[in-house]
Amino acid sequence: MSTCPDIPGADSPYRALPISDHVYWVGAVDWALRDFHGYATERGTTYNAFLILADKVTLIDTVKRPFADEMFARIASVIDPAKIDVIVSDHSEMDHSGCLPDVLARAPHAALYASPNGVKALTDHFHLAHPILAVKDGEQIDLGNMALTCLETRMLHWPDSMVSYLDADRILFTNDAFGMHYATAERFADDLDPAILYHEAKNYFANILTPYAGLVLKVLDRLQGLALPMDIIAPDHGPLWREDTESILGWYTEWAEQCPTTKALIVYDTMWGSTEKMARALAEGLAAGGAQPKLIPLSGSHRSDVALELLDAGALLVGSPTLNNNLFPTVADVLYYLKGLRKQNLIGLAFGSCGWGGEAVTQVQELLTAMKVEQVVDPLKIKYVPTGDVLARCVALGTQIAETLRARTQEHNDAEV
Ligand code: FEO
């Protein structure tokens, strides 16, 4: 085990922040984070940890290890960390579990709880001698004068993930769910710009939770069925939801349903401008057909921005020049990233200009097929510079795709009525 950091002294700038009658926020703000698993985090993030002053003093999650001093200083501003009796690990990923060994070194008598999968994951991460107690789905942890109820949320977004509910203060601690990467000095969402909250929560969902959208819907249904009174939804990243819990729950429902829409994303790169000309002509056709095209030139766009835009799109059109018999590197990067995110309900098209060979268009087509993107028109591959006839064909294909999008959206809306 690595050396446990010293507890910062009383001159530390870090203080715990009360969020309810019995709970303090004792997390850390990571203003500098700009990448999280390949997802661009331009606003940084927070690692939220929570201290419950129950009969049994309880810590919910920890922080990424480089921020151990900040977390310990915040805890120490309220209580000696050695007095922690219970630690609940809602998720084993190291942005939340990174300081567990340090907390156990300070509070060796503490009982450490995790989901059954969490026990396995924490064991494989830290190889601790300290016992890890499995808490089953729906089981309560007795804190003396209050209780925590744990609910498994497997694959949101790791197999071990769970949420925990504090009955006394009506707080649902949700770990990654309902969070966002957004470093701020404010701790509550209602103190922040709603437009930024929507953007960053959607960005988080798009880049982290899209593959598990079906499971998100099941968790939302379960929470609705349990009808837990929730004064606060407390995720482990970004602000806490207090007066606006319905906002984030509603947004999650919208994003998880992945209904067909008439938004069409055209993602492309270009070598000498020809694939770009095709992209722009396709956009004209899509708009003429009643769709809402959005072009994303990959020469200046990050893969996670594409994922964000794709979350509420109904079509994905991908254009690539051929370079050395392969996809253009930026296109390859984005397509492999999107393939892992498994966005549903998409139609699409592969297109591009080449000099000879033209393997990239075929490779785009194959990747779209692997992504289960329904290709309602044949791929469009041209040599060198597009003629007026080729651009007219792009316009016609765009219009055809728009008509398909409108029909699918209408059919979905009719079925909803
Ligand atoms: Fe914030 Fe899955 O860790």
Q: What is the mean pLDDT of residues 365-378?
A: 97
Banded model confidence at residue 8, pLDDT cuts 50, 70, 90:
confident
Q: Is 381 in the pocket of ligand 1 (CB under 6 A)?
A: no
Q: What is the mean pLDDT of residues 40-54?
A: 98
Domains recognised in the chain with CATH numbers: 17-257 (3.60.15.10), 265-403 (3.40.50.360)
pLDDT tens-digit readout, 72-88: 999 999 999 999 999 99
Let me know: does 230 contact 377? Beta carbons within 8 Å: no
Q: Whose CA is nearest to atom 2 of ligand 1?
A: 93
pLDDT at 9: 73
129: enclosing H helix or E strand: none
Separation between Cα atoms, residue 174 and residue 184, nearest integer Å: 19
Which DSSP category does 81 fall into? G
**Unique residue bearing structure tokens 């001093």:** 69
| Between 243 and 391, the higher pLDDT residue | 391
**In the structure encoding, which two tokens stand for residue 60, read together?**
């919910």
Separation between Cα atoms, residue 282 and residue 351, nearest integer Å: 10
pLDDT at 380: 98
User: Residue 47 CA: which ligand 1 atom is closest?
Assistant: 1
Separation between Cα atoms, residue 198 and residue 244, nearest integer Å: 12
**In the structure encoding, which two tokens stand for residue 34, read together?**
């700009």
Q: What is the mean pLDDT of residues 395-415?
A: 96
Angle at 241 between CA 8 and CA 35, to 5 degrees: 60
Q: What is the mean pLDDT of residues 258-284?
A: 97
pLDDT at 399: 98
Q: How far apart are the first and last CA of the chain?
A: 59
Q: How far is the CA of 176 from the centre of ligand 1 (A)?
A: 5
CA trace torsion 272, 278, 284, 290 (10° rounding): -140
**For this structure, is 252 an active site residue?**
no
Q: What is the mean pLDDT of residues 361-389?
A: 97
Catalytic residue among 30, 95, 276, 305: 95
**For this structure, is 130 an active site residue?**
no
**In the structure encoding, which two tokens stand for residue 29, read together?**
């703000």
DSSP-H helix ranges across 77-156: 94-97, 100-106, 116-126
Whether residue 1 is predicted with pLDDT greater than 90 in this model: the reply is: no
25-54 CB burial, b ≥16 within 10 A, e <16? bbbbbbeebeebeebbbebbbbbbbbbbbb
Q: DSSP for 90-103?
A: S--SHHHHTTHHHH
Q: Taking the CA atoms of 142, 90, 309 and 390 in sequence, report the sign of the dihedral they define.
A: negative
Name the 3-class secondary structure at 5: coil
Q: What is the mean pLDDT of residues 329-349?
A: 97
Let me know: does 102 contact 5? Beta carbons within 8 Å: yes
Q: What is the mean pLDDT of residues 306-318?
A: 98
Banded model confidence at residue 417, pLDDT cuts 50, 70, 90:
confident
Q: What is the mean pLDDT of residues 150-169?
A: 97
pLDDT at 3: 62
pLDDT at 10: 73
Whether residue 7 is predicted with pLDDT greater than 80 in this model: the reply is: no
**For this structure, is 412 an active site residue?**
no
Banded model confidence at residue 257, pLDDT cuts 50, 70, 90:
very high
**For this structure, is 37 an active site residue?**
yes
25: β partners: 17, 50
Let me know: does 219 contact 148? Beta carbons within 8 Å: no
pLDDT tens-digit readout, 182-208: 999 999 999 999 999 999 999 999 999
Q: Is 237 in the pocket of ligand 1 (CB under 6 A)?
A: yes
Catalytic residue among 22, 96, 181, 237: 237
Q: How far is the CA of 179 from the centre of ligand 1 (A)?
A: 10
Q: How far is the CA of 344 from the centre of ligand 1 (A)?
A: 23
What is the percentage of the chain residues whose pLDDT exceeds 70? Answer: 99
Q: Whose CA is nearest to atom 3 of ligand 1?
A: 93
Name the 3-class secondary structure at 292: strand
Q: Is 176 in the pocket of ligand 1 (CB under 6 A)?
A: yes
Catalytic residue among 6, 37, 127, 416: 37
pLDDT, the chain, mean? 96
Q: How far is the CA of 295 from the centre of ligand 1 (A)?
A: 31
Let me know: does 107 contact 44? Beta carbons within 8 Å: no
Rg value, the chain, Cα: 24
